[in-house]
Structures are given as structure tokens and as C-alpha cells.
Amino acid sequence: MATTFATKTFKNFINNEWLESASDKTITSISPADREPVGYVQSSTEKDLNDAVEAAHNAKKEWRKLGQAARGQILFKAANILEENLDDIAETMTREMGKTLPEAKGETARGIAILRYYAAEGMRKDGDVIPSSDKDALMFTKRTPLGVVGVITPWNFPVAIPIWKMAPALIYGNTVVWKPATEGAVTAAKVMECLVKAGFPKGVVNFITGSGSVIGQGLIDHPLLNAITFTGSENVGKGVARSASARGIKYQLEMGGKNPVIVTKEANINQAVEAVISGGFRSSGQKCTASSRVIVESTVYDEFKQKLVEAAEKITVGNPLTDGIWMGPCASESQFNTVTKYIEIGKQEGAKLVYGGEVLTGGEYDSGFYVTPAIFEAVTTDMEIAQEEIFGPVIALIKAADLEEAIEMANHTKYGLSASIFTSNINSILEFIDEIEVGLVRINAESAGVELQAPFGGMKASSSGSREQGEAAKEFFTAIKTVFIKGS
Ligand SMILES: NC(=O)C1=CN([C@@H]2O[C@H](COP(=O)(O)OP(=O)(O)OC[C@H]3O[C@@H](n4cnc5c(N)ncnc54)[C@H](OP(=O)(O)O)[C@@H]3O)[C@@H](O)[C@H]2O)C=CC1
Ligand SMILES: O=C(O)CCC(=O)C(=O)O
């Protein structure tokens, strides 16, 4: 366990200056492991926000004109600086939102890899030559930035998500105003310190903390904002979409999931168990791609359930900085309340809790938000615990007669982010790929786990339809100019 940790006050970063908010107030970020302060961030005002958006607006022309290759060099530098600070940032993340230290280190390393991926975009094409019907003309497309992009990010991936939004925004020539989740704002401030050291020109990247309803909403509504990218709850996401479309600006939303895993009679049961444990309970189930419904063919149901419960019994829950702890606390009191509420709802609606779901008390547990991973069975597809995103370590086991029924059950949700199947039957795999209504289709692999070079996003209520990461990010963060040139 780390022994020294400096708790300090972080400022906003606006127009290349670290600034206190005009409010003179700060917000305390506390650790869900022990309720101790992790740091303090600015409780910003509309004036601070206005300064940040104006700075980004004033910087956009020069940043665009700097060119993609030069912008890439700054991103490479940012990646190196983040790498130098990996341990501190990972530890801060673990303290602030409770994922275990190895997971936090993995996420920070992913952030570094994302920065390098988009830095390298600096040397890749930004358009295509297209044959014109006029043989004497040259016709081509040229990508152009959107301008000022607002970035609103959640607390569950406080390093990777902001970077997978900001790195493509920046490489393609946009300037950024970043409003991180309050519950991950200290970790975010440390990421911002790395970006600052990389030497972006004045006004290109701005960082502002404060309440979602004031600073987040104010950002979307700001007349100088050209686009908004958001990850978070469906409820807030819908509001982002309404406000952005009312203003006619481009928006991108990545929201919840109720991700199914199908286990067929031809599954490697041990492999499926391992993947459900990891997909359902890593990060205390607080991933939009987490496995939350496990639909098992009846002939292998008993074997699967027994092995799953045996594996869950081995999960150690406790302080996420401690070696050997596999699962930390829920990220906040509000997440803890949501999880315990749904465990009660599950019991009341007739599901049977076959493992866990207990609030841990005594000793260090009393000051944190700890609950053991929960496995329900006898769940029907219309129950609330099978329909609503719990965002916690809660799995619902559902029995299906055959693959057709399993896929029907899997699709019986408003969400469509990620889904897995475990089977060795190629016909089942092909049918699953065709029939499942999700953006991420996973075969013999857990539902969580996103690769930075591939498109990421969902169908139905999980996303606004656009995709993040990989080359797909270019579609959101740029507009296309079609150029036709002819000699005079
Ligand atoms: N990746 C995902 O799919 C995620 C899903 N969720 C889901 O959302 C639930 C609640 O988590 P929560 O943190 O409250 O998620 P929110 O959707 O409230 O927060 C996400 C981001 O939006 C900001 N925000 C909040 N209200 C507004 C607003 N009116 N306008 C603009 N921005 C706003 C938040 O700021 P602030 O933090 O200051 O409120 C934060 O930066 C979870 O239980 C989970 O179900 C949550 C996080 C990630
Ligand atoms: O599964 C992952 O790695 C990413 C999940 C994610 O994007 C999220 O929870 O918001």
C-alpha cells in the first residue's frame, strides 16, 4: 500500500493559466474506500466557463493552422509525460473512485497508448482524392476541424475516456473545454497537468471543474461551442442531445448498457465463468460494458451456476490499494445506495439471491461503500434488475430453452452496447453476430474490454449512433470539405 499522498487544491486551467474560480469555493473529493479527502477542486461559475470557452474560441484558428503533424508531436510529448506520472495518477484514481490499483495502472497505460495512437494520426492522410467526371480537374476531400469541442466525462474511467475524446479532438485541429465528473476531478486534474506540461499553445486545452447542471449544461448551451462529446448516464445524455440539437451543434453520446452474456450448451463453461466474473465484477461492475445479464441454456444451467458461485466466493473485497484485493468499494455513496436499492428491488420482485449482495461492515468497511458481488437467479426478463442499468456488481441469471430464446431475451432491453456468447458452435456464433442488437459483439470473450484502435459505441439507447476511438473518431471530430480544382 502507498504511504504518502499529498492532498491539494487543484485549479481550473484556462487560457494557459491555472486559475481559482471566481466563486472562491472548492469541492472536496472523497475516497469511497474510507471517506478521506483525496483533494479539492474548483466549484466554478458561469464566468469561469465563459472565460474557458472564449479562450478555446480564440485559439482555434492558430491551432488549425499549426497542422496535423506538428499537433501530433505535442500529443507524443503528452503521452511521455503521462507515462512518467503513471504511478501517481493510478494511485489517485484508485483513491478517488475505488478501482483496484492494477486496474487503475492498466487504465492509465491505456490512456498513454491512446495518446500515441492519435499522435501518430499526425502523419496520416486527412482526405481522399476522388476522380472527377471532368478529366482536367482535381477533386479531393479535406478534413477540417469543427472548432471548439466540449468534453463532458464520467468518473468510471477518469483517464481513458477523457483521453479517447480529447486526443482525437486535438489531433484533428479542434480546441477543447473539458469538464470532468466531479467524482473523478482530482484524477482528471492530474491528467490535465500532464497535458499542460506537453506545451499546447494558449487556449487550446481548457479544464474546468464544477457541477454538471451548471458547468456541464452551461458548456453545451454556450454560443461559442461547436460540438459536444459526452459519456455518462442516459438521463443526462438525453438532455445533452436536446440542448445540442436545439442549438444545431454536432453531438456524440455514449451512455449505459445492460449487457448480456449467453452461455450455450456448447460453451467452455470454465471460460464463460471466468469471463462473467471479470465482466460483471471488475471495477465493481461500474463499466458501461459490464456484464449484467447472464442467459444460460437450461441443459448447462446448474453446472454454470455452481461454478460461478464458487468463483464469486473467491473474490476478495476491500481497500483497492491493498495487494490481493480483487474488488474495491462502489465509487461513491450514491452508487452504493443505487446498488443496495436494486438488490432489495431484486428480492422484492421475486428473484433469488444465490450469492452475495451483502453490505460489508466492521473495521475498515464501516468508513467505505463496500458490498459483496451479488448473483441473482430466477430472474425474468421484465424484472427491473433485468432491465435497468445498475452500474454495480450485480448479475442476473436467466434460464433459456435454446439459442433462439436466449437471443430474444438478450435483445429485450432498451440498451444495445455490448454482448457476448460462449459457444464452440459456428452456426450459433454466426446467428448471434447477425441477430444481436449491439455495437460490440464478443465471441468467447467478456462483454467489457474495448480496444483503442477499433470503433466503440452502441445501438438503441446506448449511444447517439456515432462511434468513438480508432479511425471512427475522425468522423465525429471533423467535417469534410469536397474540393474541386481546375486550371484557369
Ligand atoms: N460510461 C457510462 O456509461 C456511464 C454511465 N453512468 C450511469 O449514470 C449513473 C449516474 O452516474 P453519474 O455520475 O451521476 O452520471 P452523470 O450522467 O450524471 O454524469 C456524467 C457527466 O455529466 C455531467 N453532468 C451531470 N449533469 C449534467 C447536466 N445537466 N448537463 C451536462 N452535464 C452534466 C457530470 O458532472 P458531475 O459529475 O459534476 O455531476 C459528469 O461529468 C450511473 O449509475 C450509471 O448508471 C455513469 C457514468 C458513466
Ligand atoms: O469496457 C471498457 O473498457 C470501456 C467501458 C466504458 O467505456 C465505460 O464504462 O464508459
Tell me what pLDDT residue 6 has: 81
Pairing of strands 259-263, 291-297: parallel
- Spatial distance between the Cα atoms of 106 and 108, rounded to a whole number of angstroms: 6
Q: Kindly report, as residue ranges, where domains of CATH 3.40.605.10 are found in the chain.
A: 12-255+462-486
To test ligand 1's pocket by mutation, which of 30, 46, 152 has the most ligand atoms within 8 angstroms of CB?
152
Show the beta-strand stretches assigned E in 257-391.
259-263, 291-297, 352-355, 374-377
Which DSSP letter does residue 478 get? Answer: E
389 lines ligand 1 (CB under 6 A): yes
Residue 230 has a pLDDT of 98
Give the amino acid at 105.
K
Strands 37-42, 26-30: pairing is antiparallel
Q: Is 394 in the pocket of ligand 1 (CB under 6 A)?
A: no
401 three-state secondary structure? coil
Q: What is the position in ligand 2's atom list of the atom closest to the CA of 448?
A: 1
Query: Across the strands, what pairs with 388?
Result: none
Nearest to 163 by CA among 478, 468, 379: 468
Distance 359 CA to ligand 1 centre (A): 24
Q: Whose CA is nearest to atom 4 of ligand 2?
A: 450
Nearest CA to ligand 2 atom 7: 288
Residues involved in catalysis: 254
Nearest CA to ligand 1 atom 20: 232
Listed in order, the ranges of the chain carrying CATH 3.40.309.10 are 259-451
Residue 448: count other Cβ atoms within 10 Å of its Cβ: 24
The position carrying cell 475516456 is 161
Distance between CA 35 and CA 448 in Å, rounded?
A: 28
User: Cell 449491439 sits at which residue?
Assistant: 438
How high is the pLDDT of residue 4? Answer: 63
In the chain, count H helices and then E strands: 15, 20
Predicted complex: ipTM over 0.90: yes
Bridge partner residues of 336 (DSSP): none
Instruction: Quickly count: other Cβ atoms within 10 Å of residue 347's Cβ.
Output: 14
Measured CA to CA, the distance from residue 355 to residue 141 in angstroms comes to 57
CATH number among 3.30.70.930, 3.40.30.10, 3.40.50.800, 3.40.605.10, domain 12-255+462-486: 3.40.605.10
As given in the structure block, the three cell numbers for residue 234 are 442516459
Q: Parallel, antiparallel, or unpaired: how do β-strands 148-152 and 227-231 relate?
A: parallel
Question: What pLDDT does 1 receive?
Answer: 45
Out of 156, 225, 233, 235, mutate this one to test ligand 1's pocket (max ligand atoms within 8 Å of CB): namely 233
Pairing outcome for strands 440-443 and 418-422: parallel
Helix, strand or coil for residue 296?
strand
Q: For residues 439 and 289, what is the distance between their CA atoms, to the nearest angstrom?
A: 11
Say how far apart CA 282 and CA 328 lie, in whole Å: 9
224 closest CA partner among 176, 179, 180, 163: 176
Return the number of other C-beta atoms located less than 10 Å from residue 296's C-beta: 28
Place of cell 504511504: 3
What's the rounded Cα separation, in Å, for the pair 112 and 145? 23
DSSP H helical ranges for 14-85: 46-66, 68-84
Which parts of the chain have pLDDT scores under 70?
A: 1-4
- Homologous superfamily (CATH) of 259-451 is Aldehyde Dehydrogenase; Chain A, domain 2 (3.40.309.10)
